Amino acid sequence: MSEQSAAQTALLIELHNVSKVYGKGQAAMHALRGIDLNIKQGEFVTMMGPSGSGKSTCMNILGCLDTPSAGNYLFQGVEVNSLSRDQRALLRRNYIGFVFQGFNLLSRTSALENVELPLIYRGIPAAARHKQALNAIAAVGLSGWESHSPAELSGGQQQRVAIARAIVTRPAILLADEPTGNLDTARSLEIMELLTAFNREQGITIVMVTHEAEMAAYAQRTVRFLDGRIEGEKHRREQYSEEHG
């Protein structure tokens, strides 16, 4: 295999000249203006930029929660734009995990039941999904808390449950939208260490939106958005060099 083809197979995500426009005519809002972005399998990438810069729109497109107005989105070489709504739902269900700032846990169910939810959607038998959910909860350090409801858990614990729910299906990519936004500094660092471990030890690709440079520093690469365009990128070595002279 040539070096070029080997590099190509390592690409998980490709965005080519992707634009997103909401509304029409004078009311049109250009959320993305022809961006190009490649993400390799096993990368940890953060997306930063001011509010309205396009990073969340880009995240929604990556997660198949939205579709581009123009351009191409390829996931493992498959043209996502050409998929039907049901096919995009299957892609989300089978390949993508989500972690949100607000945790998005079901309030009247236990931690274990919250983690089992994606497996129910997949039709996994009860005994198998119970075992997988227990393993995922153990992986985020919450063994013994399985029967607790979200109201009985701290913010950091709730986010751990959310991460367990996201990784219980062993996704190809984890999309994290401000995962530390509702946490104090100590809990934020714990969550970032956890995400970094999943990336390093299990090879899960992670794309994270954040406003916090301290959290972005955990990633291998930071992509900066401004006014619907990618303003630039920095790799971890470059960030370290700038911060330490």
What's the pLDDT score for residue 22?
94
101 — pLDDT class (breaks 50, 70, 90):
confident
Site of tokens 């965005």: 15
The fraction of the chain above a pLDDT of 70, given in percent, is 93
Task: List all residues 6 or more positions away from 55 whose beta carbon is below 8 Å from its beta carbon.
Answer: 47, 48, 49, 209, 225
What's the pLDDT score for residue 237?
59
How many residues in total does the chain contain?
245
What's the pLDDT score for residue 133?
96
Query: Chain-wide mean pLDDT for the chain?
Result: 91
Instruction: Report, as an integer, the average pLDDT of 46-67.
Output: 95
The predicted-structure confidence for 135-181, as pLDDT tens digits, reads as follows 999 999 999 999 999 999 999 999 999 999 999 999 999 999 999 98
What's the pLDDT score for residue 10?
86
Token readout for 215 is: 């959290």
pTM: 0.88
- Which helix (H) or strand (E) covers residue 40, if one does? strand 29-40
- Angle (CA) 19-25-30 rounded to 5° is 25
Token readout for 172 is: 């190809």
The predicted-structure confidence for 206-234, as pLDDT tens digits, reads as follows 999 999 999 999 999 999 999 999 999 98
Distance CA 98, CA 24 (A): 30
For the chain, which domains are there? 42-67+85-244 (3.40.50.300)
Among 236, 238, 229, residue whose Cα is nearest residue 35: 229
Distance CA 37, CA 35 (A): 7
DSSP-based three-state secondary structure for 13: strand
What's the pLDDT score for residue 103?
86
